[in-house]
């Protein structure tokens, strides 16, 4: 496949390279060069007037969350959950997301099905179940049930693990099941009614064991954390990505670069939860928590941007609210320059996933994930919030996936 006469977007260097030909062979880009005047051939895509952007990356999704009620999801049949997940993965691809990182719920089997072409969807990076202490953000047992049902066929984002020995075993089991990272719940959350937002979760020793076991397996730990204390502690103990972090300040923002860590804010989820959470199943006790963190999200992103922290793109939407995924671009554009927002969803996301040079770039040797937009996304990144209007073509895994 050739994409002809297109302007190639280089987010890392904030450059536009006009009138280029992108050549793909299978799932790889083999050449990017100045185009010629030869006529288009059968199978060529005419990119005249369009901008070729590296496939977009969302580093915080939950594709198996059918509703905003995470407790309710655990009672659903796995087949029903999988059917919903496949529909959502297809919709994400329609929005230009050619790679996503699931932060709790999806397993390696779903990723393998997408890789085999059984269903269309982005490249899927999974952690399996997020690990939670008893009473923590991922403890989704009904209040009256004291013992967890950890059977792998039971849907849900979390798994209860307490103590260093149990943590060591749990991380090893997650790795054995195909996890490419480990998710730790390190503070309270919105959707868990048994904990406080400002509560610290897991002991230092439990976190150290998780980080040690993950590193031994060649992967990393991600940490759900809202408060400054939870963020700083996670970074000090070796957690490599901080999810949400709405309440962090300048001091915590300054820690990321020195620890080689990534910040993954998820602004749109709080906007949409405030607008539509109750309609889509968010329990009343969780609705009350939204206001506690919603206002801090933009401020935290500003602190991180000014501190030079590596910032990846994330959304964290649940159930039917996932249709708002592209709105994250417009929200971030209120605080960051367009090129910075675009890097978060391309080159920075690729580095977080350990795929620098193969994802997030349009260059020889990179994987064949490309989005063609109607406007320069470095200048008008907010337009990506409306993919139906802004995205003309999505090439995924070297094949045409969307054409509008």
Mean pLDDT of the 52-59 span: 98
Residue 195 scores a pLDDT above 80: no
Distance set, CA 77 to CA 63, 66, 261, 368 (Å): 15, 11, 37, 35
Higher pLDDT, 194 or 79: 79
Question: What topology does CATH give the domain 58-352?
Answer: TIM Barrel (3.20.20)
Tens digit of pLDDT for each residue in 297-349? 999 999 999 999 999 999 999 888 889 999 999 999 999 999 999 999 999 99
Question: What is residue 153's predicted lDDT score, i.e. its pLDDT?
Answer: 62
Residue 205 scores a pLDDT above 60: yes
Sign of CA dihedral 216, 222, 224, 230: positive
Which range among 142-156, 177-191, 254-268, 377-391 shows the weakest confidence by mean pLDDT?
142-156
Question: What is residue 75's predicted lDDT score, i.e. its pLDDT?
Answer: 81
Write out the two tokens for 138.
């991922």
Question: What is residue 57's predicted lDDT score, i.e. its pLDDT?
Answer: 98
Tens digit of pLDDT for each residue in 377-391? 999 999 999 999 999
Higher pLDDT, 189 or 143: 189
**Backbone phi and psi for residue 192, each to the nearest 5 degrees, phi listed first:** -105, 110
Mean pLDDT of the 267-279 span: 84
Mean pLDDT of the 283-287 span: 70
DSSP string, 183-251: EEE-B--SS-TTS-TT-B-S-HHHHHHHHHHHHHTT--EEEEE-SHHHHHHHHHTT--EEEE-TT--HH
Ranges of CATH 2.30.40.10 domains, the chain = 2-54+359-403
Tens digit of pLDDT for each residue in 147-172? 555 556 667 889 999 999 999 999 99
Give me the half-sphere count of Cα atoms (radius 13 Å) on the Cβ side of residue 203. 10
Question: What is residue 73's predicted lDDT score, i.e. its pLDDT?
Answer: 81
Tens digit of pLDDT for each residue in 63-104? 999 887 777 788 889 999 999 999 999 999 999 999 999 999
Ranges of CATH 3.20.20.140 domains, the chain = 58-352
Mean pLDDT over the full length of the chain = 92
Residues facing 33 on adjacent strands: 21
Nearest CA among 31, 40, 58, 55 for reference residue 4: 40
Q: Give the CATH number of domain 2-54+359-403; options: 2.40.420.20, 1.10.1240.10, 2.30.40.10, 3.10.180.10.
A: 2.30.40.10
- Coil vs helix vs strand at 314: coil
Which range among 67-71, 107-111, 204-208, 356-360 shows the weakest confidence by mean pLDDT?
67-71
Which range among 151-160, 179-188, 203-212, 373-382 shows the weakest confidence by mean pLDDT?
151-160
């Amino acid at each position: 496949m050739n994409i002809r006469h297109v302007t190639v977007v280089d987010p890392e260097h904030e450059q536009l390279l006009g009138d280029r030909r992108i050549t793909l062979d299978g799932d790889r880009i083999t050449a990017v060069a100045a185009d010629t005047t030869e006529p288009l051939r059968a199978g060529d895509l005419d990119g005249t007037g369009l901008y070729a952007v590296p496939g977009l990356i969302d580093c915080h999704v939950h594709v198996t969350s059918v509703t905003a009620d995470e407790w309710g999801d655990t009672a659903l049949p796995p087949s029903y959950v999988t059917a919903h997940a496949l529909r959502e993965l297809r919709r994400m691809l329609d929005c230009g997301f050619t790679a996503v990182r699931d932060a709790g719920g999806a397993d390696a089997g779903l990723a393998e099905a997408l890789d085999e072409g059984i269903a269309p969807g982005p490249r899927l990076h999974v952690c399996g179940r997020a690990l939670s202490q008893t009473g923590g953000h991922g403890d989704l047992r009904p209040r009256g049930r004291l013992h967890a049902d950890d059977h792998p066929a039971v849907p849900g984002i979390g798994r209860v693990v307490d103590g260093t020995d149990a943590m060591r075993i749990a991380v090893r089991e997650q790795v054995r099941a195909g996890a490419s990272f480990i998710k730790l719940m390190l503070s309270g959350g919105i959707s868990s009614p048994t904990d406080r937002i400002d509560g610290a979760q897991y002991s230092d020793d439990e976190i150290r064991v998780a980080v040690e076991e993950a590193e031994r397996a060649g992967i990393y730990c991600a940490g759900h954390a809202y408060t400054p204390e939870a963020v700083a502690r996670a970074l000090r103990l070796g957690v490599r990505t901080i999810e949400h972090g709405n309440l962090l300040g300048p001091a915590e923002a300054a820690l990321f670069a020195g620890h080689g860590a990534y910040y993954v804010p998820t602004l749109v989820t709080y906007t949409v939860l405030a607008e539509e959470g109750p309609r889509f199943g968010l329990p009343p006790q969780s609705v009350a928590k939204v206001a506690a963190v919603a206002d801090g999200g933009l401020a935290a992103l500003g602190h991180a941007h000014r501190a030079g922290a590596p910032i990846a793109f994330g959304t964290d939407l649940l159930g039917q609210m996932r249709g708002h995924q592209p709105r994250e671009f417009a929200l971030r554009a209120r605080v960051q320059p367009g090129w910075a927002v675009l890097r978060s969803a391309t080159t920075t996301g690729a580095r977080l996933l350990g795929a620098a040079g193969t994802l997030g770039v349009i260059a020889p040797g990179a994987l064949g994930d490309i989005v063609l937009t109607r406007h320069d996304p470095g200048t008008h990144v907010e337009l990506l919030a409306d993919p139906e209007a802004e995205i003309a073509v999505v090439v995924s895994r070297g094949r045409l996936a969307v054409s509008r």
